Chains A and B, each alone.
Chain A
Amino acid sequence: MKAFRGEPSIYASARPEDIRAELEVKDLTLKFGGITALNKINLEVHTGELVAVIGPNGAGKTSLLNCITGYYKPQEGEIRFNGENITHLSTHHLTRIGIGRTYQNIELFPGMTVLSNMLLARHIHSRYDMARASVFSRGVRREEIRHRRILEELIDFLEMQSIRKAPVGSLPYGLRKRVELGRALALEPRLLVLDEPFAGMTLEEKEDMVRFLMELNEAWNQTMILVEHDMSVVMSISQRVMVLDFGVKLAEGSPDFIQNHPQVIKAYLGDTATID
């Protein structure tokens, strides 16, 4: 039976200025000692886009994401988000201005339920203090109900109704990935950064995840940037693809363009000349 899908009345009704996400990466260079992980990378992401970053292992994909989300501090270059220079802002600040992320290896609070995991993401939107929370005043209650409604919309959307109260540690891998996506969404991010959202999933789980991401992007206009290995998935869902190889940007363009790009084929499959 198909799960009931409630209309996302709060979550999806954000005003256009609340979902504005214009990311601009300019000449970004990141070095670890003598290794140049990223070399003069340029990338633009506009509101409502779904951009994928691909590349062989060690190409610097995750490093790029970590720069955008404030985990790594690049030596050169600039990252701007909605006009603001965010290169040197710290992670907690970036979360507040609307950059949410998920990890390649799921990072959840395993002992807590799905709901509590997601609720924790709401703290950046909560306004009450300890005194009012201790007596659970009317304002606090109203706010809690609003948080909970948003979460319920997300739970409906991600079809997690049946595991709402299950401890995260007891869930299978694919579902945990879904919970992590739900938690990142609970931050109401303007820009959602996904680090290998399909890694380690079964085919069915991948199909579900693709469906969620497509719908997020198309129906809710969620801006996303994702790193992924699975080429077929990337080519089918993203509007634009950027290819990295050894920290250098090889190409950027539509999936069709990338699939037929000689240098990309060379990076992935090796040089045709050496084969014959």
Chain B
Amino acid sequence: MEFFLQLLINGVSLGFLYALSALGFVMIFKSSSVLNLAHGELLAIGAFLFLLLSAWAGLPIVVAFVLTLVGTFSLGFVVERLFLRPLIGENLIEVIMMTLGLGIMFKGLLLFIFGGDIHSYPRFLPESLTLQLGNVQIPSVNVAAFIVGILFLIVFGFFFKYSNQGIYMRSVADNQPAALSLGVHVRRVFALSWAIAFLVAAMSGIVLGIINGINVHELSAIGLKVFPVVILGGLDSIGGAILGGVIIGLLETFTGGYISTSLREVVPYIALVIILMVKPYGLFGLVEIERV
């Protein structure tokens, strides 16, 4: 029973991290229908930037954290402006190939600068964050992941529901010409969705870095894991991304705990295949039916 609870808690907190990284992915897909194949590298960029600022530059943790978020957010704008905006109006496949190229480039740059070793952050999470529930202990990292995940999802929920920019993003996702005719600055929406994607990816990169250590290969592999998450939840649904994240997180930890640790990494993709066959639009995805 304790083992079960432990796995449950680990799974849920891991799931929130997946959800968070899937959020950035879904955002780009929703606003511009682009599958961002560089998503894992975005996680890695965030994690390494935080490493650079906190461990190597020796800044206080909070300052380093805020600077990382500001930095990745701005980097999102720069990348959009330099590499993706020139492709607006081109075929979608070209944009997707561009993200693939960008991903490989980022990965190469990170390997060049930081090498392929596993780095780790200085321990900075207060021990008081560690929760003791009966016989089950929840490590402070998982508590932090939980808090960060929920906090960000709430903030983004409000952002999408109530802020003008959020509503613009939703309108562009739904129908671009209509949004254009209503005075929505579509290019800004694209830029903003990339910036936000960079930011949330950095967030989840940092927390994943705390849990597993910071390694270019491992973090960029997580980019691939957003696919089962978003396919499960529906590619265009943010609520679905959250639930998909939690389900995949749970699947992983339970498989790892009860069946075999080597199966753990494969299970999300098995789920991906099954879901695609049974419910191709995902649990909450929009089924597109056109009335002609």
Contact = CB atoms under 8 A, between A and B. Distances in A.
Interface of A: 69, 71, 90-92, 94-96, 100-103, 107-112, 120-121, 123-124, 126, 129-130, 133-134, 169, 183-184, 187
Nearest to A126: B164
A123 B167 contact: yes
Given A107-B175, A109-B171, A120 B182 contact: yes
Q: Which of A69, A126, A130, A187 has the most CB of B within 10 A?
A: A130
Nearest to A101: B181
B178 interface: yes
Contact of B183 (A95, A108, A129, A133): A95
B185 interface: yes
Contacts of B184: 92
A134 B185 CA distance: 23
A94 B185 CA distance: 11
Interface stretch (B41-49, B127-135, B155-163, B265-273): B155-163
B2 interface: no
B164 A130 contact: yes
Nearest to A105: B177
Given A92-B185, A108-B175, A109-B175, A120 B180 contact: no
10 contacts: A95-B182, A96-B183, A103-B177, A103-B181, A107-B178, A109-B171, A110-B175, A121-B182, A123-B164, A183-B182
A133 B167 CA distance: 12
Nearest to B286: A111
Contacts of A123: 164, 167-168, 182-183
Contacts of B166: 130
B52 to A, nearest CB: 32
B123 interface: no
A187 B174 contact: no
A120 B186 contact: no
Interface in B54-84: none
Interface in B184-221: 184-187
Contacts of B187: 90
Contacts of A102: 181
For the complex of A and B, 10 pairs with smallest distance between CB atoms: A95-B183, A130-B163, A107-B178, A92-B185, A107-B177, A133-B162, A124-B183, A109-B174, A92-B183, A121-B182
A120 B167 contact: yes
A183 B174 CA distance: 16
Nearest to A183: B182
Contacts of B163: 129-130, 133
Nearest to B173: A109
A179 to B, nearest CB: 11
A92 B158 CA distance: 24
A112 to B, nearest CB: 8
Contacts of B180: 71, 91-92
Contacts of A183: 182
A129 B163 CA distance: 7
A190 to B, nearest CB: 13
B21 to A, nearest CB: 24
B178 A109 contact: yes
B181 A100 contact: yes
Given A95-B182, A103-B177, A169 B164 contact: no
Contacts of A134: 158, 162
A250 to B, nearest CB: 29
B151 to A, nearest CB: 15
Given A120-B171, A133-B163, 19 more contacts: A92-B183, A94-B183, A100-B181, A107-B175, A107-B178, A109-B171, A110-B175, A111-B174, A111-B286, A123-B167, A124-B182, A124-B183, A126-B164, A130-B163, A130-B164, A133-B162, A134-B162, A169-B291, A183-B182
Contacts of A107: 175, 177-178, 181
A130 B162 CA distance: 6
Nearest to A91: B180
Contacts of A96: 183
Nearest to A97: B183
A70 to B, nearest CB: 9
Nearest to B158: A134
Contacts of A94: 183
Interface string B14-55: 000000000000000000000000000000000000000000
B34 to A, nearest CB: 21
A92 B186 contact: yes
B10 to A, nearest CB: 33
Q: Which of A69, A100, A110, A129 has the most CB of B within 10 A?
A: A110
Contacts of A91: 180-181, 183, 186
A52 B267 CA distance: 62
Contacts of B175: 107-110
Nearest to B159: A130
A147 to B, nearest CB: 13
A108 B162 CA distance: 20
B158 to A, nearest CB: 6
